[in-house]
Chains A and B, each alone.
Chain A
Amino acid sequence: MDQSIRKEGSLVNTLLLALLTGTVFFAIVVIAYGMDSVIPGVHDAFHDFRHAIGIPCH
């Protein structure tokens, strides 16, 4: 009983972590390529950051 609860908890944690990592990876892509169509103003807001870390940008 305890073991199955622990297994389930571990699975939920793993799924949540996968969801978080995937979502945040999408956020990286949006910031890195300045996708204003996804988040308006993100291109200008992260302009200096993008240049400093060497991602192609204008």
Chain B
Amino acid sequence: MDYLKNGIIAGVLWGLIAMGVNSITGIHPFEYGILHNLITFTTGGAIFGIVAGGLLTFIHNRLPFKTSFSKSVLLTTCLWMILNMGGLLLSSDNPMRYHVEVPTTIQGFALAVLMGVIMGAMLQLRQKIICC
């Protein structure tokens, strides 16, 4: 359950960071207002965090790396790649509705890694607090 709580908190934080990063890079100009995006980015981040945290609870023993940090980064990156591959499949079926944009894909990949970094850092911090 610790992974799940950690995932939710990291996800909300990540949603806010993703919003900030996209505002700075301007890769996708926002079409909605800040209040709308605050709600959707934190909701989307929390949902991503629940799945990442839940999966980490089940498969953390089977992941190849030793530290929680590396495992978190691997998991969130893989999760994002699965979503992206689904998008690519949909794009091949319906290119008018779903089409790939390279800049947003690169930004998304970096953000997925960042989500793992946030989750992993929070887990390590928690372990340090419990240990000492």
- Complex alpha-carbon distance, A21 and B108, angstroms: 22
- Contact call A56/B40, Cβ cutoff below 8 A: no
Give the secondary structure class of A's interface. helix
* Given contact pairs A32-B87, A33-B87, A52 touches B50 in the complex (Cβ within 8 A): no
Number of interface residues of B (CB under 8 A): 47
Task: Please state if A53 and B80 are interface contacts (CB–CB under 8 Å).
Answer: yes
Cβ of A29 < 8 Å from any Cβ of B?
Answer: yes
Q: How far is the CB of A11 from chain B (nearest CB, A)?
A: 14
Which residues on the A side are within 8 Å of B57 (C-beta)? 17, 21
Assembly CA distance A25 to B88 (angstroms): 18
Tell me whether chain B's interface is mostly helix, strand or loop, or mixed: helix
B58 and A18 within 8 A (CB) = yes
B42 to chain A, nearest CB (A): 10
Contact, CB under 8 Å: A52 / B58:
no
Assign chain A's interface to a size class.
20 to 34
**Given A17-B1, A52-B104, A32-B28 contact (CB < 8 Å):** no
Evaluate contact between B108 and A45: CB separation under 8 angstroms: no
Residue contact B51 to A58, C-beta cutoff 8 Å? no
A32 contacts across to B, CB distance below 8 A: 83, 86-87
User: Which are the 6 A-B pairs with shortest beta-carbon distances?
Assistant: A54-B108, A21-B54, A56-B87, A51-B28, A52-B22, A54-B105
Q: Give 19 CB contacts A-B under 8 Å.
A: A18-B58, A20-B50, A24-B50, A24-B54, A28-B48, A32-B83, A32-B86, A48-B36, A49-B40, A52-B22, A53-B18, A53-B44, A53-B107, A53-B112, A54-B101, A54-B104, A55-B83, A56-B87, A58-B99
